[in-house]
Structure 1
Amino acid sequence: MSAFRGTMRDVGLLSALPVPSDYTGTRLAACNLCEAICGLELTLERGAVTAIRGNEDDPLSRGHVCPKGVALADVYTDADRLRRPVRRVGDEWEELGWDEALDLVADRLAATAAEHGRDAVGVYLGNPSAHSLGSATHGTAFVRALRTRNRFSASSVDQFPHQFVAWQLYGHQLLLPVPDLDRTSYFLVVGANPMASNGSLMTAPDFPQRLRDLKARGGRMVVLDPRRTETAKIATEHHFVRPGTDAAVLLAMVHVLFAEGLTDPPSYVDDVAAVEAAVADFTPEHAEAVSGVPASVVRQIARDLAGAEGAVAYGRLGVSTQGFGSVCQWAIQCLNLLTGNFDRVGGVLFPEPAIDIVGRRIIGPGHFDVWRSRVRDLPEFAGELPVSVLREEIETPGEGQIRALVTLAGNPVLSTPDGDGLGRALEGLDFMVSVDLYVNETTRHADVILPPTSALERDQYDLVFHNFAVRNTARYTPPVFAKDADQRHDWQIFAGLATRLRRRPGAPRLPLRARLVGAARMAASPAVVLTGLLATGRAVSMRRLRAHPEGVDLGPLRPTMPGRLQTADRRIHLAPPLLVADLDRLRAALAPSVVREGELLLIGRRHQRDNNSWMHNAPRLTKGRPRHHLLMSPGDLAARGLADGDRVRVRSRVGEVEVEVTGTDDLMPGVVSLPHGYGHQVAGTRMRHASQVAGISINDLTDPSVLDVSGNAALNGVPVTVQAARR
């Protein structure tokens, strides 16, 4: 029996070492699958994980764990997961050594840049990139070394409006106010489902318990959503709202604050009168006419936000992933600022993480329209172009055409607009490389796949999500398992590629100082980089974090404004011209128009057991009732002569799919819903179990031509028709 037998929760060196292959005992870890960043306790028997539970000593997650966290070991043991590089040869995959694989990739990327220019190499960063310490410390540096303007990420699918508004109002794209959930008394939730997500851009693990605590102290939660979500079902109130009209409702609430003299903005807020003038015609009666939310409800919510002892307005995916996501997020910020709930206990506050990625400019503040896309002439934001233009930038000949593509932990064929069209475009690339664990619907088009280690084989510190947490904490967790000798961590892959690219003739060249700094960063491990950042950060050292792998409590959120503002004059200008100007487009979109006969509005949805487009090959997460069906109200079913369980054809401007339909009263009449992340094309992939839950992709229906002013995709409110499938 191993000498390591027993519990490894002591503060010694042993708790930082990967467990031996025959280890029996417990080990602490962290879940990096979503923004909740829950602390975990693993039980191991002879080196195998036999149980995963929430770590009760974690000061943020407090023992909470969701089904995805319990399934984390399934990724580690998954036979479908790649562990060594593979090269596509026809329709087959063959393994190759790491040196050969990295040399091949560096050669092809350098040759593409030399022949066609550096913008001929495109990059797509998927959501998991933000959940890995190694990707944060080394991945972004590798991307910068490519020096391409054709950069894309999942951010322009779901969160650009948040970043865009934060940059406009507070001076930094990631200076995002967070609901003080543990002390608020009134919580308005618009287009968000934290019962399934445990918060998004609001790191709130164990949201169900936090909601119970809110109700126990006499608080209320009010939800506006076109679907009676898991969150809406346990809310104090739920009101249906027509997809795409949230901006009218939110601006009407701002209108009420002015009309009834309920405004109390901080002294450092300017241009309040300009906001009052801008929303003058957005009345509650107008909101009711376009959205279905009664004018009386609009007025009451505005009064409650202004009158509660600590209140929060919060909106997420449902309001961000539409044509007016930035206006929605601006209106939400206006509600919090004008009611006096900004930088207030029980309102919205700004976390003070151990490593302040905002104040220290670890991530840049953001910029807009510094360059534009080649084909559609759309502006960049924060150095990225809208992913909705990726397909056309690949397919359209000419200078700057994307001929080689790098994808990092993403599956845009399933997660971005017109995914089917994008998949066809990928087939025409000269070269494609993916850093990914799996052969999936996107990476199956790659020439080379470079697989990193899984979460349990690497150390973790959440550089990003501590900045959005409802409580200030810090946590570093060493790897549970040692990687095999022929595996590579993600940071080692990025460092290997960057080093090789520097040596290739014709490869993009950074200025000398940037090259030296980049080389030094790439040579250091993420733990070394993290140690340096903590040493100059806030009140916690790497030594302390290693001694407390359960996490360190840094206290509740507290007021920090205006000192933490990143604007040049340390003031908030509440009426940014880019946002106010977009109101004319909103007015035109909400004007009375002829609705096509039989047209419905399509929205997405998520489930607690889903992790965007992956983990559908984990049997423990996919068992139970099917979740890939189209949801439709009984009245809309009857009007089309359809019955529960029928197979239907759903058609939009860009495509059509066939899927089973389920009738439910949880949908607002005139609205249908498909889940995000399904549509697995099992042929050509290595996700065998996914065939049982393949479903169809909602993004074969979403329209890449419809965008928010920030460049974010409009995945919700897509006009569709539904009819019986051909027999």
Structure 2
Amino acid sequence: MHTGRYARRSPCVTAAAATREDPVSRTTGTTSDSRTALRICPLCEATCGLTLTIEGTRVTGARGDREDVFSQGFICPKGASFGAVDADPDRLRTPLVRRDGELREATWEEAFDAVAAGLRPVVERHGPHAVGVVLGNPNVHTMAGALYPPVLLSALGTHSLFTASTVDQMPKHVSSGLLYGDALAIPVPDLDRTDHLLLIGANPLESNGSLCTAPDFPGKLKALRARGGTLTVIDPRRTRTARLADRHVAIRPGTDALLLAAMAHVLFEEKLVDLGDLAERVEGIDELGSALRDFTPEAASEACDVPAGTIRALARELAAAPTAAVYGRIGSCTVPHGTLASWLVDVLNILTGNLDRPGGALFPQAATDRAPRPAGPGRGFALGRWHSRVSRHPEAKGELPLSALAEEIDTATDEGTPVRAVIAVAANPVLSAPDGDRLDKALGTLDFMVSVDPYLNETSRHAHVVLPPPPPSQSAHHDFAFNAFAVHNQVRYTRAAVPLEPGRMAETEILARLVLAATGMHGADPSAVDSMVVDGTLAKAVDDPNSPVHGRDPGELAAALTGLTGPERRLDMMLRLGPYGDGFGARPDGLNLEKLLAHPHGIDLGPLRPRLPQVLKTRSGRVELLPGPIAGDLPRLRDALRERPDGLVLVGRRHLRSNNSWMHNVPALTGGSNRCSLHVHPEDAARLGIADGAPVRVKGAGGEVTAPAEITDGVRRGVVSLPHGWGHDRPGTRLGHAALDPGVNVNQLLDGSLLDPLSGTAVLNGIAVELTPVT
């Protein structure tokens, strides 16, 4: 139980009160203690609406919400397992504080006292950059993770930020920043209206989509085929998505950018470039044609192991389609030329006139985005504003490579102080980053570490304080991040389905108190964090001549905000100031929190619409087709035309019933195809003497692991595949089910030295490995 000052429930965390006031949560079932409640699923990027069955305070069932305006009843195995995820007995219920070398249960007051006592001396002695902040993927799946880490980073002032983006999507942010001036301006394929879809390095039938929020992605691809459209998949594996396609091109891993560049070359060579309505908004078209002159299909063919005729056909089909979209994801991002591949995805959409038009690739407009500003030149996007201390990696979007975290901790240099403290929020980089063994050791040398995590996992076991958030049923939910990548504009919000359990603390309060403890304000009311953000945002809004509240009294506007909690007040503010908002009365028919609460299944805001030039924030005010950093990296891609790997290369693998490593601790989400096996082509297996099911030693530059072989022609010759997120065999963790079948950590095969230079993203796919049967 909370004691002392922690006994007060601040305005930012009254989740139980929110549940009591929610009419949807009071819906009853067939028995007196059974009811249903709505909840947006937080387990992957599809953000499907769920209808939960609740017995008392326990979630006993989950089904798709048929009335949800976005997902319309679709559900995947992860969503169906919501109750099992929510009730995992290994979830921590109370904070842990390290005493005499052991993590022991503590009160919340003791935990935050320890955080303040551990972090502040590091900042005062070594400066803010000695504190590393590590943000994991689950942050973008929670309201708390969207609202509070930016405040923490701003208040702390550290340059030592490491996130999951640099083992995933950073190349897309960098390419969008360079093309459009905004790293978050990422166009998505208009799945419901396109005639031709080309997927490269993406497997949405397993992933449910990524940087493309689309419930029932499989159904949308089948609908494309049913209406006579064409689906092309470029992937070294014959994935479930590839099996659905009209054409599957089994490319050599890591050569995605070469193939896309050759396709763009064909468009120029055969005079198929047609910018359409984009012509007046694009600069650099002639320079781009010259820059791609050497990337002929014939030159790229041998490196990609794709016939030149096939490359030409891909380009011609793209140009000939009435509407078309190219979409690339993690398989084309986590390779040596990830930023160039991400850039070329958009280049192909631009050259065929398919950017920013229905049926092509469009920019979503989320309800909590900033309201549109007048089109015109912006500040642009810069890379390398600072560098990592040891290997001098340039920052990208304010982040340093996650691969560099270990050396930033364990390596002394003449420049700056090593990272001496770490704040990890929903992150498990020991498994998700390259060379986890080195990072594992480095974390053990820190002066202080605090981890916000519901599990004692491979990373949080090193923390001096572990702060566990409650299960997802006990938290409200709005998708700030994923609505910005949604294939249909909509807005939804669900309050907590279950009251906050006594003794637990809402994740919003945990992170608010963490902000206070890290910045010298320990003991202040956590509602001060929300008030500070509201006051600052409204002060800027009333000073902005383009704002609907220009010239008004910010105090009056703050008093008009509704909501039972600090986060709800902030959501109300963002809705009101956003592109569909009521402008605090300036647009009476616009959005606000009260209107959203009156529509528990969400509000449909319409299909994606063209948004150029308003989206552009480049210095020219136009799409800058060949920005300097891209042009500077093209010689490296030109050199790759001559590369001929002669050994086996490894790629990752995604499972429908998995997303992050902690899901391996849920029995309903493991077993079957979701297991840690090494996919090997039959011919490679025969050549190397590998038997199906037999153990195989896999050796890479960073180390070696042993996994059972699974012989399949689902991978092309010369390619092997291991899934990510496994390796649950380290002592000191509390992941009981995952430890029964721990698997191996594929990232241990990497030494962390291979990065895409523009984005700092780790090269996880197409890496050279050696196989040896274990006798």
TM-score by length of 2: 0.88
Task: Report SS of the residue matched to 2:717.
Answer: coil
Give the structure 2 partner of residue 149 of structure 1: 159
Deviations 1:655-708 (CA, angstroms, capped at 9, x unpaired): 111111111001111110000111112521111000233100110012311111
Is the Cα contact below 8 Å between 1:110 and 1:504 reproduced in 2? no
Is the Cα contact below 8 Å between 2:318 and 2:324 reproduced in 1? yes
1:418 CA displacement? 1.1
Is the Cα contact below 8 Å between 1:19 and 1:480 reproduced in 2? no
1:209 to 219, 224, 233: 219
Deviations 1:599-652 (CA, angstroms, capped at 9, x unpaired): 210100110001221211111111335621010101111111111111111111
Give the structure 2 partner of residue 435 of structure 1: 452
* Partners of 2:358 and 2:671 in 1: CA distance: 42
Task: Report SS of the residue matched to 2:68.
Answer: coil
Task: Kindly provide the amino acid, as one letter, of the partner of residue 27 in structure 1.
Answer: A
Task: Report SS of the residue matched to 1:290.
Answer: helix
* Partners of 2:674 and 2:567 in 1: CA distance: 40
* Partners of 2:233 and 2:514 in 1: CA distance: 47
1:135 to 141, 145, 162: 145
Give the structure 1 partner of residue 253 of structure 2: 243
* Shift in CA distance, 616/11, structure 1 to aligned 2, threshold 3 Å: closer
* Shift in CA distance, 502/420, structure 1 to aligned 2, threshold 3 Å: closer
Single out whichever of 217-226 and 365-374 deviates more from structure 2. 365-374
Give the structure 2 partner of residue 304 of structure 1: 317
Give the structure 2 partner of residue 575 of structure 1: 626
* Shift in CA distance, 222/451, structure 1 to aligned 2, threshold 3 Å: same
* Shift in CA distance, 491/526, structure 1 to aligned 2, threshold 3 Å: same
* Shift in CA distance, 439/514, structure 1 to aligned 2, threshold 3 Å: closer
Identity of paired residues, percent? 45
* Shift in CA distance, 521/488, structure 1 to aligned 2, threshold 3 Å: farther
* Shift in CA distance, 330/229, structure 1 to aligned 2, threshold 3 Å: same
Is the Cα contact below 8 Å between 1:202 and 1:470 reproduced in 2? yes
Give the structure 1 partner of residue 717 of structure 2: 669
Give the structure 2 partner of residue 491 of structure 1: 508
Is the Cα contact below 8 Å between 2:26 and 2:36 reproduced in 1? no
* Partners of 2:95 and 2:339 in 1: CA distance: 41
Give the structure 1 partner of residue 93 of structure 2: 83
2:481 to 460, 464, 467: 464
* Partners of 1:416 and 1:13 in 2: CA distance: 41
* Partners of 1:406 and 1:344 in 2: CA distance: 42
Task: Report SS of the residue matched to 1:534.
Answer: helix
* Shift in CA distance, 92/109, structure 1 to aligned 2, threshold 3 Å: closer
Give the structure 1 partner of residue 14 of structure 2: none
* Partners of 1:215 and 1:589 in 2: CA distance: 35
Task: Report SS of the residue matched to 1:660.
Answer: strand
* Partners of 1:500 and 1:673 in 2: CA distance: 43
Is the Cα contact below 8 Å between 1:622 and 1:693 reproduced in 2? no
Q: Note if 1:354 corresponds to 2:403.
A: no
Give the structure 2 partner of residue 712 of structure 1: 761
Give the structure 2 partner of residue 15 of structure 1: 24
* Shift in CA distance, 64/682, structure 1 to aligned 2, threshold 3 Å: farther
Q: Note if 1:532 corresponds to 2:573.
A: yes
Task: Report SS of the residue matched to 1:372.
Answer: coil
Matches within 5 A, 1:621-632: 621-625=669-673, 627-632=675-680
Give the structure 1 partner of residue 303 of structure 2: 290
Task: Report SS of the residue matched to 1:370.
Answer: coil
* Shift in CA distance, 490/284, structure 1 to aligned 2, threshold 3 Å: same
TM-score by length of 1: 0.93
Q: Note if 1:474 corresponds to 2:484.
A: no
* Partners of 1:352 and 1:564 in 2: CA distance: 10
Is the Cα contact below 8 Å between 1:180 and 1:347 reproduced in 2? yes
1:251 CA displacement? 0.2
* Shift in CA distance, 382/647, structure 1 to aligned 2, threshold 3 Å: same
Deviations 1:160-210 (CA, angstroms, capped at 9, x unpaired): 110001100111101011100000010000010010111100001101211
* Partners of 1:592 and 1:439 in 2: CA distance: 44
Give the structure 1 partner of residue 230 of structure 2: 220
* Partners of 2:517 and 2:672 in 1: CA distance: 48
* Shift in CA distance, 170/11, structure 1 to aligned 2, threshold 3 Å: farther
CA RMSD, aligned part only? 2.5
Task: Report SS of the residue matched to 2:661.
Answer: coil
Task: Kindly provide the amino acid, as one letter, of the partner of residue 749 in structure 2.
Answer: L
Give the structure 1 partner of residue 728 of structure 2: 680
2:123 to 85, 88, 113: 113
Task: List gaps (5 residues or longer) in structure 2.
Answer: 1-18, 538-563, 581-589
Give the structure 1 partner of residue 192 of structure 2: 182
* Partners of 2:174 and 2:372 in 1: CA distance: 17
Give the structure 1 partner of residue 648 of structure 2: 600
Is the Cα contact below 8 Å between 1:471 and 1:557 reproduced in 2? yes
Give the structure 1 partner of residue 104 of structure 2: 94
Give the structure 2 partner of residue 371 of structure 1: 386
Q: Note if 1:165 corresponds to 2:206.
A: no
Q: In the comparison of the two structures, how many residue pairs are matched? A: 706
Is the Cα contact below 8 Å between 2:27 and 2:37 reproduced in 1? no
* Partners of 2:270 and 2:567 in 1: CA distance: 53
* Shift in CA distance, 366/360, structure 1 to aligned 2, threshold 3 Å: farther
* Shift in CA distance, 609/141, structure 1 to aligned 2, threshold 3 Å: same
Is the Cα contact below 8 Å between 1:407 and 1:435 reproduced in 2? yes
2:607 to 556, 561, 567: 556
Task: Report SS of the residue matched to 1:254.
Answer: helix
Is the Cα contact below 8 Å between 1:17 and 1:480 reproduced in 2? no
1:136 CA displacement? 1.2
Task: Kindly provide the amino acid, as one letter, of the partner of residue 406 in structure 1.
Answer: I
1:393 to 399, 403, 408: 408
* Shift in CA distance, 11/209, structure 1 to aligned 2, threshold 3 Å: farther
Single out whichever of 578-587 and 368-377 deviates more from structure 2. 578-587
* Partners of 2:533 and 2:462 in 1: CA distance: 30
1:13 CA displacement? 4.6
* Shift in CA distance, 626/495, structure 1 to aligned 2, threshold 3 Å: closer
Q: Note if 1:415 corresponds to 2:438.
A: no
Give the structure 2 partner of residue 275 of structure 1: 288
Deviations 1:343-373 (CA, angstroms, capped at 9, x unpaired): 1110011112111159589xx9753111101
* Partners of 2:87 and 2:104 in 1: CA distance: 21
* Shift in CA distance, 579/184, structure 1 to aligned 2, threshold 3 Å: same
Is the Cα contact below 8 Å between 1:499 and 1:519 reproduced in 2? no
Task: Report SS of the residue matched to 1:50.
Answer: strand
Task: Report SS of the residue matched to 2:570.
Answer: helix
Task: List gaps (5 residues or longer) in structure 1.
Answer: 1-9, 508-512
* Partners of 1:351 and 1:692 in 2: CA distance: 43
Give the structure 2 partner of residue 57 of structure 1: 67
1:520 CA displacement? 5.8
Give the structure 2 partner of residue 3 of structure 1: none
